[in-house]
Structure 1
Amino acid sequence: MMNHKFLYLTFASVLFFSVSAVNIQSKVTNNPADQLVKILNDNRTAHHSTALHSNPGLACIALQYIKAYEGNCDEVGGTKAKKPEDSAFAKTFAPNCNVEPASLAQITGRFLGCQSEYFKPDRAFSEVLMKDEKSLKILYSKNHTEVGAAVSGSGGGGPYFWCVLFSNGKSNSSFVLEDGVAKVSRPGCFSGANDDCSSAEDRFHGYHLWKYVVGVLALTGYFFGV
């Protein structure tokens, strides 16, 4: 009987460490906002438009733009659609990002989408942000010179907001960070922050890891009479 218990314990240990290793691998640097910027620029260059400068100051502003909705997905599109006041950029968004208000440049376009579930960046781009012909005109516009993207959930889960802001500012003088470093805030990820920002998928994997651990502990306790 002890041999059987030993075998089950060995199996449980192997399962635990294997699942742990998989979870560790899933936490490699993964910023969905950076991935979205790459997708946007890849589509622009494929359409013979210039790639845009990824501006972390503008991207942080995009995250603040999301937060202004306070998790209300119904206010993003449809008849109830709204957008933050223009004054919020200088009064709230810029200070929250350590962006010098005097360096704010014109916003030449925006994408904003909201879904109850998390989408990978490529799917968010094609199914959430690229809604119609107007979206394509914004994407390929020659007025843009820089871009900033952000993604954030609400309350540790859905709904999930995606925001892209475009500007015609100069990369060295627009959306300038006061200390030269992007001010990271949670929840949410924004492009250009040099931040190891996990996506919702990592939290999903973490949830399943916890279920495996509980199962392993229960199995061990059963065979050893704990």
Structure 2
Amino acid sequence: MNRVRWLNAQWPSSIRAVGKRLIEMPFTDERMDGFAIERIRDDFIEGRYIEKYNYQEVISTPFGSEEVFDRIGYRTTEFTLFDSPPHIELRSYHRSIKELISRLLEACSFNLVVTPPTVNLIEWVSALQVAVDQDITVDSLQVSGVEIDEGVTGKILLKGVKDVREATDILLAGRKHVLEKVQVKFAGLNKTVAIQLSNNGTAKLPAVLPNDLLRHLRVSFPRGDS
């Protein structure tokens, strides 16, 4: 399963200028973190952010005691930075992206503004269907904040063997709600492709990605907040 996240940003300078600054912050044996930049173009940067961390491994011996070993681990986040929204694409990222964002801020002399999007998932799915030129089925979705009664809200998960959007409209019947997640399916690579999209601009994708799927997801990504 591949995890991808998109963020919006306001770059203080051109993408090439940002890329040159990141090259000056490389990951080395002497540093705990840094960048490995692979490509810089006028409209995007591709690279990796690498973190080194120390941890202890505790092993139980056959004699009932424990031995502690100091270990070193590495975490890598692949990224692409764009000059148009969504400006930041993170792939195979870890739960916390705080350090990566801090380093980007440093590279931009702390003049960078990064904001998480709030995505209209219905718009995203509709645009994605056009981008992939395939019929897309929403076979699962999750809504929260559903107004059941005055002062009473609920969370609903709908699943089906067919598209659940029409049934969702009937069930909600105009009630206030927040669409949090959808799972969509379409044909690709001679098999059905299933992806999960969330309203915070994240996606869970299959381990083997169909050609151009990432590009289609980014192109169809809603540009306005909702």
Q: Under a length normalisation based on structure 2, what TM-score does the superposition of the two structures give?
A: 0.23
Higher strand share: 2
Q: Under a length normalisation based on structure 1, what TM-score does the superposition of the two structures give?
A: 0.23
